[in-house]
Structures are given as structure tokens and as C-alpha cells.
């Protein structure tokens, strides 16, 4: 029996590594590179818009990144999260491998949380299904997903 090795240095897009999307329990399904594809172009568009806002504000180009705080979540891990209020939530965009929770890598030094959220919303192509955006002000991240059959949606907390 051979050991199957995962190459965590694989780039999913020009600025997103597969390692950034792995579940906190270490898991990542082999289907993940395919399921996340619809979100990857959006990730790159958001990054580009964010950097354009920063350039306009500061008068020069800063190549700032986006930090992924959560990508894929195994159903078991997702069900344990306090945000699920004790419910055993084993379905959703994160367990399906179609979601990213993000914030600017600069820690909001060069762009405000509100401006970053606006860049994300503006990037969602007239906000039609399947793209959805969630705003989590308390936690300081923005959720983006591409979840077919669930309609377009925007929410904020």
C-alpha cells in the first residue's frame, strides 16, 4: 500500500494556495480543487478591486493580499463550531467546498473593513445566483461563496 501525499504547495489561483483552504482539522477532500473553482476567479477579482481602492486612496500601487481564515470545513468540524449554536450542521457552503472567509492581509491598515466589504459586493457580478456574500463585523471577516440552488444573498452582522 502506498502513502498518498498531498502537495500543499499547489496554487489554486495566482494568489491562493491550497494550504490556505484546508480545514482546521487537517482535512481536505480530493474534490476540493474542482468545487472551489467558481470562487477562485471571484477571489482574484476581489483582490484586484481592493488593491485599486488602496492605490486610489494612497496614490501608489500596493500589492496587498487577502487572508483566508476559513475555506473547506469537514462536516464534523463544521458541526462543532460555536457559531452553529450547538446544531450539528454538516451541510453548507464550507463543507461543500465552495466558500471562503476572508479579510485583507494588511489588517485594515490600508483599507477599511467597510471598503473591503464594498469591494467584495461590487465583485459579485450584479449579485446574481450563485454568488453570496456575508458580512461578519464582530469577527472582522467577509464570507464569499458560490452555492448553486441557494439563490443570491447578502447578509451582515
CA torsion sign for 39, 64, 141, 74 is positive
Q: Pick the more confident residue, 152 or 1.
A: 152
Tell me the C-alpha distance between 12 and 145, whole Å: 16
For 112-129, what is each residue's pLDDT tens digit? 999 999 888 888 766 667
Whole-number average pLDDT of the chain: 84
The confidence score (pLDDT) of residue 2 equals: 35
User: pLDDT grade, residue 82 (50/70/90)?
Assistant: confident
CB 103 within 8 Å of CB 50? no
For 5-23, what is each residue's pLDDT tens digit? 456 578 899 999 999 999 9
Domain ranges of the chain: 11-156
For 21-42, what is each residue's pLDDT tens digit? 999 999 999 899 999 998 998 8
Report the topology of domain 11-156.
Muramoyl-pentapeptide Carboxypeptidase; domain 2 (3.30.1380)
User: pLDDT grade, residue 81 (50/70/90)?
Assistant: confident
CB 141 within 8 Å of CB 69? yes
User: pLDDT grade, residue 139 (50/70/90)?
Assistant: confident
The confidence score (pLDDT) of residue 51 equals: 94
Q: Pick the more confident residue, 91 or 137.
A: 137
In sequence order, the 6+-apart residues with CB closer than 8 A to the CB of 60 are none
Amino acid at each position: 500500500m502506498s502513502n498518498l501525499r498531498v502537495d500543499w504547495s499547489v496554487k489554486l489561483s495566482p494568489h491562493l494556495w491550497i494550504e490556505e483552504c484546508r480545514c482546521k482539522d487537517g482535512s481536505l477532500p480530493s474534490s476540493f480543487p474542482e468545487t472551489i473553482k467558481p470562487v477562485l476567479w471571484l477571489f482574484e477579482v476581489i483582490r484586484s478591486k481592493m488593491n485599486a481602492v488602496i492605490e486610489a486612496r494612497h496614490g501608489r500601487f500596493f500589492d496587498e493580499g487577502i487572508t483566508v481564515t476559513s475555506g473547506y470545513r469537514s462536516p464534523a468540524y463544521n458541526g462543532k463550531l460555536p457559531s452553529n449554536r450547538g446544531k450539528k450542521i454538516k451541510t453548507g457552503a464550507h463543507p461543500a467546498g465552495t466558500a471562503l472567509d476572508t479579510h485583507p492581509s494588511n489588517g485594515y491598515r490600508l483599507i477599511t473593513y467597510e471598503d473591503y466589504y464594498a469591494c467584495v459586493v461590487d465583485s459579485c457580478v450584479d449579485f446574481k445566483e450563485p454568488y453570496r456574500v456575508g458580512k461578519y463585523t464582530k469577527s472582522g471577516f467577509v464570507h464569499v461563496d458560490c452555492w448553486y440552488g441557494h439563490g443570491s444573498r447578502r447578509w451582515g452582522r
